Amino acid sequence: MKKWLRTNVKNYYYPEKTLIMGILNVTPDSFSDGGKYTNMQPAVDQALKMEAEGADIIDIGGESTRPGYTPVTEAQEIERVVPVIKAVKEQIKIPISIDTMKANVAQAAVEAGASIINDVWGAKKDPEMAAVAAKSGVPIILMHNRRDIPYKSLMDDILSDLQESIDKVLAAGVKPEQIIIDPGIGFAKTYEENLQVMQQMERFRELDYPVLLGVSRKSVIAKTVNLPADQRDEASGAAAAFGITKGCEIIRVHNVKLHARMAQMMDKLMNKGSDING
């Protein structure tokens, strides 16, 4: 297993602590906080707040990926994210990731100061994404997603799909230590399948890459606790804590303060940080 996340801003040693990725959506239609951070100053203020509360990475996205979302053009997405990335980068000391499935957006974001690519299609939607990741040299998060469902064997199929993404970026020249995988909770999966994936998250160890879990405020939380998006944080925290027990290295969250505190306690219980010398 790769033990380091190395970026041009900061390096993180996975056995030391669970990394917290704070979500910053600069979209008008995000399911949780749509429209809140579409203006520059609120976006910068929110990034600073998340950094102060314990975020290790700020994940900036310019296109909603919620069910039924309205796609935006490449130009629109670049127009949304690039100015925010530039402004946020001037104010914070932690890496920025760009949440996009478009290669040109990823390229523009990296040029603007993003240090990580977070692709919800695992480099399969845009044929140029793998090349952009390889050329830029930044880490890439490959999330599981697919069009053809149902599954023949849920976990086996997901692992196979992710391996295809891994092989794709490796073939383009991405270094193995720059790859992170994401089970894709809430994408191309039913409620029951999302629960099963989380319950069997230890199987992602078979691929031997760091795992990011993004479950914050998603439909699997909504359907379990039957609460609106702004009241799902405690349940999201429980899901994240469960993911930490299953070995995930990064959690992607809306409420950084709550999750950072929960992760700190979970890390102590899991003996993270006892191997800080590598």
Q: How many CB atoms lie within 10 A of CB 40?
A: 14
CA distance 216 to 178: 24
CA distance 168 to 155: 20
Partnered with residue 13 across adjacent β-strands are: 4
The H or E element spanning position 140 is strand 140-143
Sheet with 212-214, strands from edge to edge, namely 179-182, 140-143, 116-119, 96-99, 57-61, 19-25, 250-253, 212-214
The label of the residue with tokens 């599954």 reads 151
CA distance 204 to 182: 9
Catalytically active residues are: 218, 252
Q: What are phi and psi of 211, to 5 degrees?
A: -115, 130
| Closest by Cα among 8, 88, 100 to 55 | 88
